[in-house]
Amino acid sequence: MPRWPTDSRERLVDAAMSLFGEHGYAATTVDEIAARAGVTARTFFRHFRDKEEVLFSDDDSLMPHLIATIAEPTGPVAAEALMSRALSSLAEVMQPGRHELRARQRIIDTEVSLSGRELAKQALWQRAVTATLIERGFAEEHAEVLAAIGFALFVRELHAWLADDDGPDLVTRVQDALPRARSVLDVVSAR
């Protein structure tokens, strides 16, 4: 028999999100999160290094998914097609969790330290994407720019989707953003 429930991680995330919503991020302690989840603080630290990490727990599955999509052997592929496929795939995975993502973003937006952690996570992802693009055969300078543009597009469309109940879904937003980005680059280049 396990010493702690097998669903402890999910229970901890649910408890933390509830408490952050009820009392605010700063006022919520690890002990309160653990108690709400029905586990000990020690169990909390088996899953997360701190309460900030609870907010970014989806990264454990999302980043590998994105990297696997980029690395998927499909033969030679144009940068825009690869970006479209990778970002659309990520959007498809994230789309069902809109309610949770919205609640998470509200919490992150209330704390400067959390915004910094979010940016640090994005930088980590961007480096991993760049390395994967290089492995696929892109030149380093092109891989860096492609990864940066991809993240800028995705983050912009994710935030717009979270803020807009009536607009298109996340996959559509991401797919529509790529041609618009190309036209913006053309306009900027023409000046």
Per-residue pLDDT at 128 exceeds 60: yes
How much is the pLDDT for 3? 54
Give exposure, 175-187, as e/b (b: 16+ Cβ within 10 Å). Answer: bebbeebeeeeee
How much is the pLDDT for 1? 34
Per-residue pLDDT at 147 exceeds 80: yes
Q: How far is CA 61 from CA 20, 66, 94, 97, 107, in A?
A: 22, 9, 11, 13, 21
Q: Is the separation of the CB atoms in 52 and 113 below 8 Å? A: yes
Instruction: State the chain's maximal CA–CA distance in angstroms.
Output: 68
How much is the pLDDT for 178? 85
Reported confidence tier of residue 23, pLDDT bands at 50, 70, 90: very high
Burial class (CB in 10 A: 0-12, 13-18, 19+), 39: buried
How much is the pLDDT for 184? 60
Among 74, 73, 70, 97, which Cα is nearest to 151's?
70
Q: Is the separation of the CB atoms in 105 and 159 below 8 Å? A: yes
How much is the pLDDT for 171? 95
Among 190, 119, 175, 102, which Cα is nearest to 127's?
119
CATH no. of 8-54: 1.10.10.60
pLDDT, tens only, 161-173: 999 988 899 999 9
- Domain-by-domain residue ranges, the chain? 8-54, 58-190
- 139 Cβ neighbours under 8 A, 6+ residues apart: none
Q: Is the separation of the CB atoms in 118 and 58 below 8 Å? A: no
User: Of 50-64, 106-120, 176-190, where does mean pLDDT reach its minimum?
Assistant: 176-190
Q: Is the separation of the CB atoms in 95 and 157 below 8 Å? A: no
Per-residue pLDDT at 105 exceeds 70: yes
DSSP H or E stretch at residue 71: helix 59-71
Name the CA radius of gyration of the chain, rounded. 19
Asked: is 58-190 a CATH 1.10.357.10 domain? The reply is yes
Q: Is the separation of the CB atoms in 30 and 15 below 8 Å? A: no
Task: Provide the token pair at 47.
Answer: 């899953």
Per-residue pLDDT at 88 exceeds 50: yes
